[in-house]
Amino acid sequence: MIQQLSIFIQDEIGSIAGVTAILKQSNINLRAISSFDTPNFSILRIVVDQPEKAKELLIANGFAVTMSEAIAVELDDEPGILHDMLEIIANAGLGLNYIYSIVYRNGKVPLLILNTDNLQLTIKVLKEKGYLVADQEDVVL
């Protein structure tokens, strides 16, 4: 499993840049980013090479931040491969909460980051079907 940060930000111009500025100033490498908006705020989900340090710095700068576990799964770049994996998860009776990806990995296949209502069971069923579930160190180039 991997660690991801969820950061609550205002829906206003430059709010994401405020987060990335802190990461840049602290030499923290951003590996994946996704933003989910609501009418009044956004949830920015990120995967970084130093999650604990990033969380501490962002909180110190006034951001509301939570750290949680997610799953990173290697997927070959082939038509239908995402559907096959999602079908395995659905057939196991697991609900998918969200999904986003890391595309560039220095010559390695992309990683798909996902969160379900039962991470351990999701890992088990995917591994049984031959999927490689990455660890935190696999996310860093």
Residue 90: which of 72, 110, 117, 120 has the closest Cα? 117
d(CA 126, CA 128): 5
Q: Given this model, what pLDDT does residue 71 score?
A: 92
Q: What is the pLDDT of residue 132?
A: 85
Question: Residue 138: pLDDT band by 50, 70, 90 thresholds?
Answer: confident
Based on the number of CB atoms within 10 Å of its own CB, is 91 exposed (0-12), middle (13-18) or buried (19 or more)? exposed
Query: In the structure, what pLDDT confidence band is assigned to residue 105 with cuts at 50, 70 and 90?
Result: low
How far are the Cα atoms of 39, 72, 85, 88, 124 from residue 132, in angstroms, in the given order? 37, 9, 11, 14, 11
Domains and CATH numbers, the chain: 2-68 (3.30.2130.10), 70-136 (3.30.2130.10)
Least confident among 19-23, 103-107, 116-120: 103-107
Residue 130 CB: number of other CB atoms within 10 A?
7
Output Rg (C-alpha) for the chain, integer angstroms.
Answer: 16
